[in-house]
Structure 1
Amino acid sequence: MARPLAVLTLSDDERQTLTTWASRPKSTQRLAKRARIVLACAEGLENKQVAARLRVCTATVGTWRRRFVERRLEGLADEPRPGAPRTITDADVERVVTRTLETKPKDATHWSTRGLAREAGLSQSTVGRIWRAFGLKPHKAETFKLSTDPFFVEKVRDVVGLYMSPPERAIVPCVDEKSQVQALDRTQPLLPMTTGQAERHTHDSARNETTSLFAALNVATGEVVGKCHRRHRHQEFLKFLDEIDARVPKGPGVEIHLVLDNYATHKTPAVKRWFLRHPEYHLHFTPTSSSWLNLVERFFAQITEKRIRRGVFRSVAALEAAIREYLERHNASPRPFVWTADADLILKRIKRVCERTSDSGH
């Protein structure tokens, strides 16, 4: 014979509480499911019927029916698990987090796990666990700079609009210069990578001359027009504009929207006259101190990481040859960098930084 079901009846207060647990978004899924099981059992359904409705096993329904009958609402909570009793209290955790965020040691700019452990009377591993749980990393610091350009919002919307929704039959080149690229040679030969051992080179280097890479990134195709010059003046910039003009596709109705930063060589009288002679070019300047808005900076980061930083160049000519080779290979199968953050998202993030800066007390 089957075991008789425990009689389950609910008071009005219990039914209201269970209904709240079952439907409140902030309830844990475990508690919400247990509340739904008890509510279904209170309708007079058998365990198999409740299990089929809620897609759980019959034994689960029986467990929570019995727990509720024996201990009512308290029976739906998780029972304490076996193990050593907790030694770190909530007050200890709060003390560590508060001291990390609001104070500094007298002899340093930031806390270490050992230093804070001595101050708080806890172990170093405990402080480390609390920091990891709350995402605290006092040993790290990042940099930022807010633009003071009075037309910051307008320029952000202008440039980002070109990236995400360019005009019809428009070509959008992002132009900038990677200046003072130095040809670095190592003082001793490299030790190549071997199994279990990374490539090694000397910490010091022999410094040779420098070059400047002028580059124009086509936003739509990812193709890059690049040229190296030993000097970084408006004369070299004019030569590079002629290079862009010779390489950019021409046609009826085609407009060229050039994204530039506010470097002085981009605004000299000679450069302004060049653009007056080429009315098909439309200039879009990024805000001051906002070079991250120029998409060609992403290409500069790529060529630095892949070809320049770990390269060994005995002369500036060797460096320029390596840059030209990289450009040829890049343009053989170019891939565009896709800009995904719209202007509203960028401005909201900057607003949050401004609010945090104004509330920091510095």
Structure 2
Amino acid sequence: MTSSGLVISDEDRAALESWLRSSTVSAGLVERARIVLTVAGGAGTAVTARQVGVSRPTVIKWRDRFAARGLAGLADEPRSGRPKTIDDSAIIAATLDAPPEKLGVTHWSSRLLGRHLGIGDATVARAWRRYHVQPWRTETFKFSTDPELEAKVHDVVGLYLNPPENAVVLCVDEKSQIQALNRTAPMLPMRPGLPARATHDYKRNGTTTLFAALEVATGRVTDRCYDRHGKAEFLDFLKKVAKAYPRRELHVVLDNYHTHKHAEINNWLAKNPRVTLHFTPTSGSWLNLVEVFFGIITRQAIRRGSFDSVAQLIEKIRTFIDGWNDRCHPFTWTKTAEEILPHA
């Protein structure tokens, strides 16, 4: 038919014009409505194509389909291609089942599962992405078997959320066996699109143990490095911490390492009643906030360093902690014991 022969009813015109104003109608339908309205306004095929920004065959296609079927002719027709042979729920269900023993694998890959189900690996991958299923990933967990778990969680969390008035809450632990590693070649600096790179080869130059006491209210750290991490070193560090906070009531959170409960430690505590130890549950070191600080110093100062000697490593640790204490911030605990215990 010719463009001049296209006639549309008032009802269809109102519908097409509403499509142009709508923010929810697809861009394809808006374009088709503009074609039909332009043609019905008396424009020729070439003029319509130029005004709408499409080709002449596109104008002819939608003009003729509207003439033959009205508004319904502007809708998309069913797409060709093979329909799905398996739905996503079946793919996810198969993913959760262990692979057959004959495959000798611990988990499915998209290719193995696709072959097993008789579908393409891309179909499997799309289903995994849609439902956030990642068979190749694994994480670890550990439940505490401490018979005093509930009491210890309440004790430690209570210190974080409601510390005693005029008292200092400290989190203490040791980070042992920090290696003074010297890379066999200088690190390559990062470049656009490439991270900094270090050689896989290194030389071991000894180790040190970092004792640290984190003041929860300020984030300030008291530290000392030792060659060993036995009861003598722990007692010496406790004395250093007590000296750093003279005439203050100290509540110290720490783990159940045996040196923390030695008779010599208990004897010293009996003579220094202003210092009270609070033990985290067995396998509950995540309750100790100094572990967060150990993660920070590892990432920012130790892991990417290169050290010719233990003395150089210790100097780096001290420099970092001095800088940290200039910019430190409170460590804020937010979860209550009741929120934690179901997951502990």
Normalised by the length of structure 1, the TM-score is 0.71
Counterpart for residue 118 of structure 2: 121
Structure 2 CA distance for aligned equivalents of residues 88 and 237 of structure 1: 66
Amino acid at match of 2:84: I
Structure 2 CA distance for aligned equivalents of residues 146 and 81 of structure 1: 56
Match of 1:224 among 208, 221, 236: 221
Q: Cα offset for 1:137?
A: 0.6
Counterpart for residue 102 of structure 1: 97
Counterpart for residue 267 of structure 2: 273
Structure 1 CA distance for aligned equivalents of residues 132 and 256 of structure 2: 38
Q: Deviations over 1:19-64 (max 9, x none)?
A: xxxxxxxxxxx9xxxxxxxxxxxxxxxxxxxxxxxxxxxxxxxxxx
Counterpart for residue 260 of structure 1: 254
Q: Cα offset for 1:92?
A: 2.9
* Structure 2 unpaired stretches of 5+: 1-9, 12-23, 25-74
Match of 2:208 among 186, 211, 230: 211
Q: Cα offset for 1:191?
A: 1.9
Amino acid at match of 2:244: R
Q: Cα offset for 1:326?
A: 0.5
Distance 1:88 1:173, change over 3 A: same
Counterpart for residue 88 of structure 1: 84
Residues paired across the two proteins, number: 270
Q: Cα offset for 1:81?
A: 6.2
User: Contact conserved, 2:98 with 2:106, CA < 8 A, in 1?
Assistant: no
Q: Secondary structure at the match of 1:173?
A: strand
Distance 1:83 1:265, change over 3 A: farther
Q: Cα offset for 1:333?
A: 2.2
- In the TM superposition, structure 1's runs of 4+ consecutive aligned residues that sit over 4 Å from their partners are 80-83
Q: Matched residues, percent identical?
A: 50
Q: Cα offset for 1:105?
A: 4.1
Counterpart for residue 330 of structure 2: 336
Task: Give 1:20-31 correspondences, 5 Å limit.
Answer: none
Q: Deviations over 1:145-170 (max 9, x none)?
A: 11100010111111011111111111
User: Contact conserved, 1:105 with 1:111, CA < 8 A, in 2?
Assistant: no
Amino acid at match of 1:191: L
Counterpart for residue 150 of structure 1: 147
Counterpart for residue 174 of structure 1: 171
Q: Cα offset for 1:87?
A: 2.4
Q: Secondary structure at the match of 1:304?
A: helix
Q: Deviations over 1:294-317 (max 9, x none)?
A: 010000000001111111111111
Q: Cα offset for 1:345?
A: 1.2
Q: Cα offset for 1:337?
A: 1.7
Counterpart for residue 16 of structure 2: none
Q: Is 2:159 the partner of 1:162? A: yes
Amino acid at match of 1:113: S
Structure 2 CA distance for aligned equivalents of residues 83 and 294 of structure 1: 60
Counterpart for residue 109 of structure 2: 112
Structure 1 CA distance for aligned equivalents of residues 79 and 283 of structure 2: 55
Distance 1:203 1:180, change over 3 A: same
Match of 1:292 among 286, 292, 315: 286
Distance 1:104 1:268, change over 3 A: same
Structure 1 CA distance for aligned equivalents of residues 167 and 99 of structure 2: 54
Amino acid at match of 2:290: V
Structure 1 CA distance for aligned equivalents of residues 236 and 341 of structure 2: 36
Q: Deviations over 1:188-247 (max 9, x none)?
A: 222222344322211121112100000000011110001100111111111101110111
Counterpart for residue 309 of structure 1: 303
Amino acid at match of 2:83: T
Distance 1:280 1:191, change over 3 A: same
Q: Deviations over 1:236-278 (max 9, x none)?
A: 111101110111152xxx4211101000110111111111110
Normalised by the length of structure 2, the TM-score is 0.75
